Chain A
Amino acid sequence: QVQLQESGPGLVKPSQTLSLTCTVSGGSISSGGYYWSWIRQHPGKGLEWIGYMYYSGSTYYNPSLKSRVTISVDTSKNQFSLKLSSVTAADTAVYYCARDTGGPGDCWGQGTLVTVSS
């Protein structure tokens, strides 16, 4: 059974870069057939798809965040990462990593709250 777990700082200062890592266990990121995604949820709000990457390195980002987002993969550690630059309070959210089967996310991490505040 594949499991995903987010990790990273829970507090980031405005204008800095938010960095999160998702560790995948029970399956290999390199096995192919899956896309590795980041989704966020503002407090009390709905879901916003941030982007995903395929293990080969192809990436797709939400156009609304594209200028600030980088998703990368470390196959040796079976991890993928999210970097979001120049954060503001509007980036305060619960960040989820998920396995995407080419559309629906069939396996999600538990989520991690990131607060942007000085």
Chain B
Amino acid sequence: EIVMTQSPATLSVSPGERATLSCRASQSVSSNLAWYQQKPGQAPRLLIYGASTRATGIPARFSGSGSGTEFTLTISSLQSEDFAVYYCQQYNNWPPRTFGPGTKVDIK
């Protein structure tokens, strides 16, 4: 099973600032990596798939990069609605399709 790790666990950012979230896989997942956003009481929402492709309707301030074992989600200028928990998920080697533990982005 591929183990996904995310850092930091919590990221405190001021509105308008840039946020950089990291995700690492225990072995290569090529570009088969997705990012999700989850707000309290809501289901996760797909942001990025294929490591760098934005899902339908996702604002351009969200961008993904990386391949192999190291990935990054960047939010270029944080808006109030972006404060949430972000998960990465690999879908290269399955079952199972594994998720990272999440990074909480909160207001500084």
Contacts and interface: CB of A to CB of B under 8 A. Distances in A.
Interface of A: 46-49, 51, 60-64, 96, 98, 101-106, 108-111
8 contacts: A47-B87, A49-B95, A49-B98, A49-B99, A104-B55, A104-B89, A105-B46, A106-B55
Range for the number of chain B residues in contact with chain A: 20 to 34
Interface of B: 1, 32, 34, 36, 42-46, 49, 55-56, 87, 89, 91, 94-102
Contacts of B34: 103-105
B96 A62 contact: yes
Main secondary structure of the interface of B (DSSP, over half): loop
Contacts of B45: 108
Contacts of A101: 49
A103 B43 contact: no
Contacts, number: 60
Contact of B87 (A46, A98, A110): A46
B44 A49 contact: no
B7 to A, nearest CB: 14
Given A64-B96, A106-B49, 9 more contacts: A46-B87, A47-B87, A47-B89, A47-B99, A51-B96, A102-B91, A104-B34, A106-B55, A108-B45
Contacts of B46: 104-106
A14 to B, nearest CB: 24
